[in-house]
Structure formats: C-alpha cells, structure tokens
Structure 1
Amino acid sequence: MAVTPPVCDFGWSAPGFSLPGTDGKTYSLDDIRGPKGTLVMFICNHCPYVQSILDRILRDAVALQAAGIGVVAISANDVADYPEDSFENMGKLAAKRGFSFPYLYDESQDVAKAYGAACTPDFFGFNAQDELQYRGRLDASARQAAPADAKRELYEGMMMVAKTGVGPRDQIPSMGCSIKWKSA
C-alpha cells in the first residue's frame, strides 16, 4: 500500500545521527552537510517506487553535490522481514550503481523515527542552517517512472534552496512503500 508523508514543516531542524555506511565508514550529519544545504533521503533496495526512480536519484544527487548540497541515503527497513534490504545487500547495490553519496543503515530505526520518515522514498531537503525547506517528491513518478521529460521537482527545489536558502512553497509529497518498522 502506498504511503504519502506529510507536507513540508518549513524551518524544522535536522536531527543529528551517526550511522554506518556501506563503505565501512560511520557518518554523522556534520560529515554529510554541504555548504549550501543537505538532502537526506530514506530509501531501500526492494521498494518498487525507489527502483523506478533510482537512475534519476543518482543523476540528481551528482548535480546537487556539484552545487554544494550534501547528499545521503538511509535505509531503516526491518531486514528480518525484508532481507533484500540487508546491510550486505545495500552495499552491493551502492557498489553496482556507483552511488556518489553514502548509503547508511539505520538498524535501530531511531533516525527514521527522529525524522518522521514515512515511506521510501522520503526526501528531506535542508538549507545551510539545517532548516527543512523541501519534503516533496522527486518528480511525477510512482511505481513506474514518469516520462523522461518530467519536471525535476526535487532537483529544482534543492537548487532553489542552494541559491536562496528557502524552498518552494508549493510541494507535492513523495509517495512510496511504508517504512518497514520492526514489531514492538
């Protein structure tokens, strides 16, 4: 079942974190932060919504990094029920696809909870002061990719943040598979 996160809570402060990356390093928000802002993406390996746009995520991440935006992806799914999302498989995907950003594992799910992540993909775009300015979708894609010429909403929104420190007022929420929470 598709889940849609809430609209952007402008000015909300990015919670810190310290998580292991698929490259063997541990990363904090300070390590990721770019001089013009930061994009924190909650994704996973198995989600068809993520799979349909992964090429576009990778394309836009490179462009945003070149513009001074720090980029990170975090997977928080329960791997007991979704073994395709295991840390080992995350590493395989990141290597195979040549991720230009760290891919981190939130095994405890505490970071996903702190961010209020609702689905994969869920995008959190912060300005240089770590204030939330974007919580929209990548583009009009869903379970299948939108046409190649679809408006690049995330990219354009984050470029606006890089240039002005403020995100677009009108944002369409992302849609995807729910975060696979561990049972209590």
Structure 2
Amino acid sequence: MAALNPPVCDFGWSAPDFSLPGTDGRLHSLASARGPRGLLLMFICNHCPYVQAILDRLLRDCRALAAEGVGCIAVMSNDTVAYPDDSFERMQALAREQAFPFPYVYDEAQAVARAYGAVCTPDFFGFNAELKLQYRGRLDASGRQPGPADARRELYEAMLQVARTGQGPREQQASIGCSIKWREA
C-alpha cells in the first residue's frame, strides 16, 4: 500500500456543499458543520494506519478548535464492499467508542470526495469563515506511526491562524496517507 500526498493548498478555493448521513442518525451539510470562524473538513476512515496513528491527536485538536469557533466534520468515502472495516456500522462503533467531538459522515456515492479532490486518508481541508480554503496540510509529523509526543501541532496552529485572521500559513507540509478506495466503475 503506497502512501499518497495531496496537492498543495489552492488558497481561496470555495468549499462545495454536501448533505451526508452521519453516524449520529442526522444529515449533515456544509452549513451545519461550519463554525463561526471556520471549518475543518477531513477525509478519514476506520482502517487506515495513518488515521489510526493520529486519531487521539486529531480528537484533541478538534475539541480545542471547537472552543475557538472552528467547526469540524469527518467524511468517510471509501468503497465499503472492498473495505468492510469502513462500513457505516463500524463507523458508528468507532465514533461512539472514541467519543468523536464532530460528525462522522458517510459519502457512499463518493461524490463529496470527488468534489473536494480528496486523495488520501487523512486529507485535511481548512476553510475560513467565508468557506475559502486556507489549509491543505498535515496534522503533524506523524506517519504510519504517531510522531513524537512533542510534535508541532501544525493543523491546530494553522486553523487557529485561520480562525483569527482568515488566512492560512503560506508554508504547509502535505498530509500523507492511504489512497481513497474508489469503487470500480
């Protein structure tokens, strides 16, 4: 399984709208997910070792970002027939077990992943209050294994800057992860 990196940030790109079912039994959209000072939209899944390596840090940072007015939402777009660990039922179990502080939604048709140009899990899209892209980087220096305990909180710091100034950092390190598992046509 080769690791992939998403492209660099396309500053100012507008977030496409969506409406997806969440593990909490509700429908979630761009409007319901955004916070007054921004939105962190992330593509994750259950089975990816890169996601598993950062999950505790991601939950910590999303809780802290919520306190700063940044909404967070996680989208799972993988083919669940080929990857049953990512099934909606298993998504629900993970969200419950880990007490996700954000909606975890299922992009069964993979249309949202395509609209955003998602490449891998995890893939982070940080938007300002006007829903213009300001961050397309990594969480921190973690890879398939968690980074050092004192790793710089790159995504958290970037999203704080976005929340406070509307602008993301010009220097960003691309995320790394497993490819989105696309359904065969």
Letter of the 1:24 counterpart: G
Match of 1:43 in 2: 44
Residues 93-172 of structure 1 aligned to structure 2 (within 5 Å): 93-172=94-173
Q: Distance in 1 between matches of 2:174 and 2:16?
A: 20
Whole-Å separation in 2 of the counterparts to 1:47 and 1:114: 21
Aligned: 1:52 with 2:53: yes
- Give the whole-Å Cα distance in 2 for the aligned partners of 1:116 and 1:65: 25
**Counterpart for residue 173 of structure 1:** 174
Cα offset, 1:26, TM superposition: 0.3
The one-letter code sitting in structure 2 at the alignment partner of 1:97 is Q
Q: Which runs of 5+ in 2 are unaligned?
A: none
1:19 to 2:12 alignment? no
Gaps of 5+ in 1: none
- TM-score (normalizing by structure 2): 0.99
Alignment size in residue pairs: 184
Partners of 2:50 and 2:29 lie apart in 1 by 27
Deviation at 1:107, TM superposition (A): 0.1
User: 1:26-65 CA deviation, whole Å, 9 max, x = no partner?
Assistant: 0110001100000000000000000000000000000000
The yes-or-no answer on 1:69 pairing with 2:74 is no
| Structure 1 position 130, deviation (Å) | 0.5
CA distance in structure 1 between the aligned counterparts of 2:32 and 2:22, rounded to whole angstroms: 12
Which letter maps to 1:175? I
Q: Distance in 2 between matches of 1:16 and 1:57?
A: 23
> What displacement does 1:93 show?
0.1
CA–CA separation in structure 2 for the residues paired with 1:65 and 1:86:
27
Percent identity (aligned): 67
1:89 and 1:130 map into 2 onto residues whose CA distance is: 30
> Segments of 4+ in structure 1 off by > 4 A?
none
CA deviations over 1:106-150 (Å, ceiling 9, x no partner): 000000000000000000000000000000000000000000100
